[in-house]
Chain A
Amino acid sequence: MVKNKKYRLEIKQPRLAAGIIFFTAKACGLPPAVNVWGVELKKILETLLRLITYQPDFDREGFILRENEYDRQSVPERRDGGQKSPGGPEGGGRNGGGEGSGRRTPRRAARPRRKDEPAGEAEPGRVHSRLDENRRAVERIYGLPANKDVILREFSLGTDPPLRAFMVFIDGLADRKSQYRLLENLMIHCRILRPGDVMSASRIMTSLLPGSQVKNLDSFEKIADAVNYGDTAFFFEGSDSALVVETKGWEARTVDRPETEQTITGPQEAFVENLRANIALIRKIIRSSDLYTEIIPVGARFRSDVAVMYIKDLANPDLVAEVKRRLSSITVDFVTDVGMLEQFIEDSPYNLNPQTLATERPDRVAAALAEGKVAMLLSGSPFALVVPTTMFSQLHTGEETYLRWQYGSFIRYIRTFSFYLALLLPGSYLAVTLYHQEMIPTELLLAIAGNRERVPFPTVVEMLLMEFSFELVREAGLRIPGIIGSTIGIVGALILGQAAVQANIVSPILVILVAVTGLASFSIPYYSLAFAVRIYRFFYIAMGALLGFYGITIGLFIQILLTVNLKTFGLPYLSPAGPRTFPGRDMVGRLPVFLQRRRPDYLNALDDVRLPGAPRGWVEGGDGGSEDGSDR
């Protein structure tokens, strides 16, 4: 008790409320063990109070993708009213979007990138000129007699006099054949050298080692990084540097068909877990010297490489800089998949909508790069992250572009419809059957009502039951091993539905409804977006059951407001619909490719024009006789 009193004396205003609650709880006869709870409660209350009290928040906008010089020139009517003022309005009129604030000064990223590497006793080790020292150092770094993966092989060069050397590699990561050839060269073929030549590491590198990628390194840290990634390090007596030869060659999956983004037409390649192979897959499509790949290491303890790819003369330099800034600022011990990376770099982690696009199709990445977007690939992850992304591009698959435009548009309209179905159908059904029965045709309503007569639950419970079962079937179908998984999914759903109807647990129309909703949510091409929709759906079920269509309206109002307020890498998430910009004829409907003359306006690419001149040069007029050849 005494302790509590003291507490009450020292607390400030927000805590006072918590204290009051706490004492009320006490008064209500709760046992003293609630003490811990009291503290927790206080924390919650403080958070609540912080929410509803005022806190100045002057700069609400982070990075904004602004228009570049090219765009500014192309919009002559732009006014520079407030441009002089620091951080004044900067955006152009046409972009329409929230360019209200200037770019914030880059936050001094508190970057506690750990410089003290784990092997503390090896010290900022440089390679010693004495081989034994080096050997001891390597043994220390890898804990050698105990660590059985790391192979240290001693040999001597076949020169005259023989030069002692050893090589270090990790078993399984390095390719044996190329190692064998390296050793062969060093031990046998080097007899061509005249005796008495100075055998420095650099000399060996230039004339003796046939590897295509050889680095001359003198820091143990860097050497270890390379060896850990499958390279082989050679140390020579008398050289104060080591040669690191690229011998990466572990067992890996070969390039396969896409698993999660299947299409009928178009390329059928998917990324694999190998970064180099993935980059090659993209480069193979975009054969340009302007395609840049920058490697940024992430992972403080266990290093991974992130490849940032963009097209130099297309991608907005601000965007590239922002991507690099975010990537280099993150602190994480290790990253295995782009999914983890995404969570570190996205703008609003608390919004449900995914703000990056993860794809396993190189052709989609290439198409995005060609629009001026930036892609990130992570070593060991078979997905690429594309930023910035809009909701519309998350609803595209890339396949529509390969199909003729009528077919592509048709698919997209179906998909848009199914997006709304997946989001709103269960909620609207509840709203209609609970509040607005007049909307249902009489016969249908009577059929619904009749079938419900024997169902002992309220409609909401029925709906939640079915939705939950459906999610269960979906999740179980994923986890059940092997081929039976998918079969069980479908059969399970059918049998479950049928049995539930016969047992009068749910009404038949509800089974149809949930099944249609499920189908609709499967037709959303992007996995993360489908997740968001599935979760939002429960929100709409709650709102529809609470307040009917008014509840649905509230839900829509909130969702649209928050979604429209969302930004991905400085780009409004719903562009080009909100804010309205020039849509590029590739939003929901897709116009013929030869009419898509410009890159999406909202990306503010360096070069706006996609198809200069006459796209269909063989036709008179050059553009397929479109009603308006000029796009703007």
Chain B
Amino acid sequence: MRAVKILAVILLALAPAGCWGSRETDEIAYVLALGFDKGPGDSVIVTFQIANPRVIAGLATGGGGAGGGGGGGSTVTSTSTVAALPIGAFYLLNTQHSREITLLQSTAFIFSEELARTGLHKYIAPLNRYRETRGTAFVFVCRGKAGEFIQKNRPELEISPSKQYELFSTVERVHAMTPVVQFREFYQNMKSLSGQAVAPLVALAEKDLARSRAPELGKLGDHVAGELPSSRGESQFLGTAVFRGDKMVGMLTGDETRYWNMITGKMARSFLIIEDPKSRGTPLGVELSQARQPAVKVKFDRDRPVIEVHLYQEPTIVGVSSGIDYESPGLKPVLEKHLADLIERRCLELVARTQEEFRSDIFGFGRYARMNFLTRKDWEMAKWHEIYPEARVDISVYLKIRRTGLMLNTQPVRY
């Protein structure tokens, strides 16, 4: 067949192309996480966390297959370099590492708080242009030095830190005390007219359990990363860094982050310890879960926006230490009312804080405000970021205790 012969000629023509651009897996160093710190002058210190595949595959101990991770060196290694642009640092790094650096597998970008407060655009924009950067990588803000965090963060349960970062985004569904922000989202919000960016806070733990204060009722996890009392002297993922444009302007604690998650509809489940409404000073545990997405409506009262937020929650009673049977039809509404009031109050406090302290619409209310406009021009004229702090926000919480755990009735303790 003639076509086959033609094909042969074409293949011959393609053959000299060689294997341009092919890279063997053992010629590449895979960067799993990148840390950014402020360097001397205008420069930036980039810390790379590079996987060591030999250890991960269990080959480091020698003797072939059966090595099995025991003491054969660390699974990751990290290096810091100073450069004016983050991408430039890769090329500098190649003078120290025998392997080509690739970002294809990087799952986390960690910026130090110091850097974040001076503005991130000039670091983020090159990353966004670079083809190896993943829009699905996670963004973190580190209290303290990002480089130090990367060096000291050694997850014990995970083989590679990249899995740790990814799993933190999954485990967030359980506690909702940290936002989950992908690079794409962060970048979009940085440029958006209708919302502002946030990023989760990470830090190395500073305090140990002994020096902790007594936890306040009605709040759970009211700390930012690094300050949570724990015996583990290691990394913590807790709380939110609030941005205005590309500059960080403040922090939310884990407790506040829960309400942020609630208002943005990202909270799947969370836990709350409140004060027992019938018995002062006794803690009562409820597991919150979202019944459906919150409904947000934005109207304009002349030029002042009026934001209505309806939250729908379905908590489950987890622990009642007072022994009062809140399962009974008479007492259930009491608890519901108490809980709803608490949530509403805490949400309003949070909103007030963003309006007054941060002047930043981190909830993305602007997305709903946009619906009042017909064309882009009108919307740009409205200057949402400027009018948001003046907005009136009404929050109503619809709350129904659907389940009461494994107990349908509570008998008091007898003696």
B22 touches which of A435, A442, A558, A562 (Cβ 8 Å): A435
Chain A's closest residue to B64 (CB) is A502
B25 touches A433 (CB 8 A): yes
Residue A45 is within 8 A (CB to CB) of chain B in the complex: no
Q: Within the assembled complex, what's the spacing in Å between the Cα atoms of A433 and B107?
A: 19
Q: Contact check: which of B18, B21, B24, B59 meets A459 at CB < 8 Å? A: B24
Partner of A458, one of B24, B105, B160: B24
A464 proximal to B (CB < 8 A): no
- State whether A51 and B5 are in contact (beta carbons under 8 Å apart), knowing that A442-B163, A448-B25, A450-B58 are contacts in the complex: yes
CB contacts (< 8 Å) of A565 on chain B: these are 3
| A454 touches which of B2, B19, B24, B59 (Cβ 8 Å) | B59
Which among B18, B54, B102, B107 is the interface contact of A450 at CB below 8 angstroms?
A: B54
Evaluate contact between B21 and A435: CB separation under 8 angstroms.
Answer: yes
Contact B7 A442 (CB under 8 A): no
Report the stretch among B26-34, B252-260, B311-319, B362-370 that lies at the interface: B26-34
Asked whether A98 is an interface residue with its Cβ less than 8 Å from the other chain, the reply is no
CB-contacts of B1-56 with A (<8 A): 1-7, 9, 14-15, 17-19, 21-26, 28, 30, 32, 51, 53-56
Decide if A348 is an interface residue (CB 8 Å cutoff): yes
Contact of B59 among A453, A502, A548, A562 (CB under 8 A): A453
B56 pairs with A562, CB closer than 8 A: no
B159 at the interface (CB under 8 A from A): yes
A508 vs B64: C-alpha distance when bound (angstroms): 11
Q: Do B2 and A452 have beta carbons less than 8 Å apart?
A: no
Nearest B residue to A508 by beta-carbon distance? B65
Give the residue name and chain of the B residue nearest to A432 (CB). B25
Q: Which residue in chain A gives the minimum CB-CB distance to B60?
A: A450
Asked if B162 is an interface residue, CB under 8 A from chain A, the answer is yes
B102 to chain A minimum Cβ distance, whole angstroms, is 7
Q: Most B CB atoms within 10 A — which of A48, A52, A442, A443?
A: A442
B237 CB → nearest A CB, Å: 19
Which residue of B is nearest A445, CB measured?
B105
A448 CA / B65 CA spacing, docked (Å): 13
Interface-centre pick from A351, A450, A460 (highest chain B CB count, 10 A)? A450
Nearest CB to that of B10 among chain A residues? A558
Q: In whole Å, how far is B6's beta carbon from the nearest beta carbon of chain A?
A: 6
Mark contacts of B109-136 with chain A using CB atoms, 8 A cut-off: 1 yes-contact digit, 0 otherwise.
0000000000000000000000010100
Chain A count of residues within 8 A CB distance of the other chain: 40
Residue A438 contacts which of B15, B58, B134 (CB distance < 8 angstroms)? B134
**Chain B nearest CB, measured from A536 CB (Å):** 12
Q: With A443-B163, A545-B22 in contact, is A451–B59 under 8 Å at CB?
A: yes
Q: Decide: A442 and B160 in contact? CB cutoff 8 A.
A: yes
Residues of chain B contacted by A508 (CB below 8 angstroms)? 65
Are A442 and B30 within 8 A (Cβ)?
yes
Q: Is the CB of A450 within 8 A of B57?
A: yes
Q: List the A side residues contacting B107 at CB < 8 Å.
A: 442
How many angstroms between the C-alpha atoms of A442 and B58 in the bound complex? Answer: 16
Task: Determine whether the beta carbon of B22 is less than 8 Å from that of A437.
Answer: no
B92 part of interface (Cβ distance < 8 Å)? no
Are the C-beta atoms of B102 and A437 separated by less than 8 Å? yes
B56 and A350 form a contact (CB under 8 A): no
Which residues of chain A are near B102, meaning CB under 8 Å? 437
Question: Pick the contact of B159 from A52, A438, A443, A445 — CB < 8 Å?
Answer: A443
A452–B162 Cα gap in the complex (Å)?
21
**In the complex, chain A residues whose CB is within 8 Å of the CB of B159:** 443
Q: Of the candidates B9, B23, B160, which one forms a contact with A52 in the assembled complex, judged by CB atoms under 8 Å apart?
A: B9
Complex alpha-carbon distance, A443 and B14, angstroms: 34
B331 at the interface (CB under 8 A from A): no
- Proximity bits, A319-360, B CB within 8 Å = 1, else 0: 000000000000000000000000000001011000000000
Q: In the complex, which residues 79-117 of chain B have their Cβ closer than 8 Å to any Cβ of chain A?
A: 102, 104-105, 107
**Which B residues lie within 8 Å of A437 (CB)?**
23, 25, 28, 102, 104-105
**Taking the nearest CB of chain A, how far is it from the CB of B92, in angstroms?**
22
Q: Are B2 and A547 in contact (CB under 8 A)?
A: no
- Contact of A434 with B by CB under 8 A: yes
Q: Shortest Cβ distance from B137 into chain A, in angstroms? A: 11
Residues of B within 8 A of A443 (CB): 56, 159-160, 162-163
**Complex alpha-carbon distance, A77 and B1, angstroms:** 36
Q: Is A501 engaged at the interface, CB distance under 8 Å to the other chain?
A: yes
Considering the chains assembled together, what is the distance between the CA atoms of A501 and B65 in angstroms?
Answer: 9
A30: Cβ under 8 A from any B Cβ: no
Verify B53–A453 contact, CB threshold 8 A. yes
Distance A455 CA – B64 CA, assembled complex (angstroms): 11
From 400 to 438 in chain A, residues with beta carbon under 8 angstroms from any chain B beta carbon are 433-435, 437-438
Docked CA distance A495–B102 (Å) = 37
B28 to chain A, nearest CB (A): 7
Q: Are A446 and B59 in contact (CB under 8 A)?
A: no
CB–CB B9/A438 < 8 A: no
Please, how many angstroms separate the alpha-carbon atoms of A355 and B19 in the complex?
35
CB contact between B9 and one of A48, A452, A504, A558 (< 8 Å): that residue: A48
Whether the Cβ atoms of B2 and A51 lie closer than 8 Å is yes
Q: Is B4 a contact partner of A438 (Cβ separation < 8 A)?
A: no
Q: Which residues of A contact B134 (CB under 8 A)?
A: 438
Could you tell me the distance between the alpha carbons of A562 and B1 in the complex, rounded to whole angstroms?
10
CA distance A508 to B54 in the complex (A): 14
Return chain B residues, CB-CB under 8 Å to A454.
Answer: 59
Q: How far does the Cβ of B155 sit from chain A's closest Cβ, in whole Å?
A: 13
Q: Knowing A450-B53, A502-B64 are in contact, say whether A445-B9 is a contact too (CB < 8 A).
A: no
Interface centre among A48, A52, A443, A460 (most CB of B within 10 A): A443
Contact of A434 among B19, B58, B160 (CB under 8 A): B19
CB distance B30 to A449 under 8 Å?
A: yes
Interface: A491 (CB within 8 A): no
How far, in angstroms, from A554 to B10 measured CA to CA in the complex?
11
User: In the bound complex, how far is the Cα of B76 from the Cα of A442, in angstroms?
Assistant: 13
A107 to chain B, nearest CB (A): 18
Q: Which residue of B lies closest to A57 (CB)?
A: B2
Q: Is the pair A558, B7 in contact by a Cβ cutoff of 8 Å?
A: yes
Name the CB-closest residue of A to B158. Answer: A443
Which residues of the other chain, B, contact A453 by a CB distance below 8 angstroms? 26, 53-54, 57, 59
Expressed in whole angstroms, the minimum distance between the Cβ of A63 and any Cβ of chain B is 16
Q: Does any Cβ of B come within 8 Å of A546's Cβ? A: yes
CB distance from B86 to the nearest CB of A (A): 19
Complex A-B: 5 CB contacts under 8 Å: A52-B9, A445-B25, A450-B59, A548-B22, A554-B14
Other A-B pairs beyond A450-B56, A459-B24, 13, CB < 8 Å: A52-B9, A437-B25, A442-B30, A446-B56, A449-B53, A450-B54, A453-B53, A453-B54, A453-B57, A502-B64, A504-B64, A546-B17, A546-B19
The residues of A with any CB-CB pair to B shorter than 8 Å are 48, 51-52, 348, 350-351, 433-435, 437-438, 442-443, 445-455, 458-460, 501-502, 504, 508, 545-548, 554, 558, 561-562, 565
